[in-house]
A = this chain, B = another copy of it.
Amino acid sequence: MRYTKEVEKWGTFEFSVDGKTAGNPFTDYNITARFESESEKKTVAGFYDGNGVYKVRFMPSFAESYRFTVKGSFSDDTYTGEFTAIQPSADNHGPVRVHNKFHFEYSDGTVYYPVGTTCYVWELQSDELIAETLHTLKNSPFNKIRFCVFPKSYCYNTREPRSYPYEGTPVDGSLVNEDNIWGFGPDSEGNDWDFARFNPEHFQHIERCITELQKLNIEADIILFHPYDRWGFSAMTAEQNELYLRYTAARFSAFRNVWWSFANEYDYVKSKTTADWERFGEIIVECDPYNHLRSIHNGAVFYDHTRPWITHCSVQSSPEGTADWRRTYGKPVVIDEMAYEGNHTNVWGNISPQEMTRRFWAALCRGGYGAHGETYVNENIWWSHGGKLFGESPERIAFMKRILEEAPSGGLKPKAMEWDDVCVVPEVDEIAEKTGYHLFYYGISRPAFRHYHIDDENVYSAEIIDTWNMTVEKVGEFKGRFKVNLPLKEYLAVRITKVIK
């Protein structure tokens, strides 16, 4: 047996042992472990990692000494040992949790405002392209990325992935072209997979990518199922799906930056019913001992985000409904898909950088969080392959993130205003009261002026934020009802804060 002797709190402990290889080690045997420290006791499932090696992973939630006992059905032996979980390093804040009902924070209480992007299969590209994507991410405002375990077959996504999740052989991908890609479904003839035998290298590689993201403080929002498929991975049996989920959870759960996105466009996965998705939720809740964030992203029809296994709304839509979705679902609203900046031939992938930026602010100023994607048609397209970013919105999204980080902590909630105003104030009433913080957003509206009236007692500072040109201009300090003249421009915000003398 081999195992980690020292690991950070919220780091990944790993235990390995050699076992039997006869039969199908993925299904014929199991391995489980019991971890105990002063404050924590957990039993977790392990997995077969190929080449006769069985593994168990564990993420300690306390900086304490841990004892473990491992038992595998492939042997009569019982393995025991100890390791130490030390204090986390500076950038390790633990897993992200829901905070203040509609927001997030890291487990150590550090603020986390999701600013996501999507690169569906960036991790299944070449080493060079993966390195380029990580380099781009490092210099970007993004702190969450959505991507798939299964490869993707779709327009501009005809190339083969670097590996497959199962043993077997794929359909001939050279038959896919621009003309038939839309009809190339999961039932394509020519696939020959053993859905009971995983390809450990596929998962090992994804784990390396999760770890690289972790080093950049980026959350890995892992898409478990999606409909863009020519290999049959979206149309497996209930039993095969369960095996896949248990295997994936056993492998990925001990990485602190993992989130579970049960689907991209769940309602376009024609082979699955609500009962299936509910069952998948049950399995992940059972198999992920750390309770990572869980969501399910829609195509045309929202899932019922009130379901208890769902931690936050992962929405595809323009963000105008954000305040309504908060009320309806009572959970954080992350609009993971608001269309993409680019010139893709389809309407969901060709909005301007101005419109992408507008949607971020429109989400923020209704109490939610937007997300980015880019679809300029090049050899590689960020939205699927990663690589370089060509757009003009990321810089503005970084500016918005700065404005958000300057806001009182704890998140922002929509304030009930006259019908045509969009405004957020701090989520926590005491913070709202103390700071007097108001962030108004005008989008495509270009009012010549606006009147504001927070109260009659205090002095308020007013600033005009040009969200596109990334400027903040202080207008002055005011008491009572006051007027702010605005330039004839779209995309303005006004920030009002109480002047504490």
Contacts and interface: CB of A to CB of B under 8 A. Distances in A.
Contacts of A22: none
Interface in A74-107: none
Interface of A: 342-348, 350-352, 355, 377, 420, 444-451, 488, 490
B488 A343 contact: yes
A353 to B, nearest CB: 10
A347 B476 CA distance: 24
Contact of A351 (B352, B444, B448, B449): B444
A345 B449 contact: yes
A449 B343 CA distance: 8
A82 to B, nearest CB: 59
Given A352-B490, A490-B352, A344 B420 contact: no
Contacts of A488: 343
Contacts of A352: 444, 446, 490
Given A346-B447, A350-B447, 12 more contacts: A342-B446, A343-B447, A345-B447, A345-B448, A345-B450, A345-B451, A347-B420, A347-B445, A347-B447, A350-B446, A352-B444, A352-B490
B490 A448 contact: no
Contacts of A446: 342-343, 350-352
12 contacts: A343-B446, A343-B448, A344-B448, A345-B447, A345-B450, A347-B445, A348-B420, A350-B446, A351-B445, A351-B446, A352-B444, A352-B446
Contacts of A450: 345
A348 B347 CA distance: 26
A445 B344 CA distance: 9
Contacts of A343: 446-448, 488
Nearest to A378: B448
A450 B420 CA distance: 37
A445 B343 CA distance: 8
A343 B448 CA distance: 5
Contact of A420 (B346, B351, B355, B420): B346
Nearest to A446: B350
Contacts of A448: 343-345, 350, 377
Contacts of A420: 346-348
Contact of A350 (B347, B445, B451): B445
Q: Would you list the 10 A-B pairs with minimal beta carbon distance, nearest first? A: A347-B420, A343-B448, A345-B447, A350-B446, A350-B445, A377-B448, A347-B445, A343-B446, A350-B447, A346-B420
A275 B238 CA distance: 58
Contacts of A445: 347, 350-351
Nearest to A420: B347
Contacts of A345: 447-451
A291 B16 CA distance: 88
A384 to B, nearest CB: 15
A346 B451 CA distance: 11
A51 to B, nearest CB: 46
Given A420-B346, A420-B347, A355 B444 contact: yes
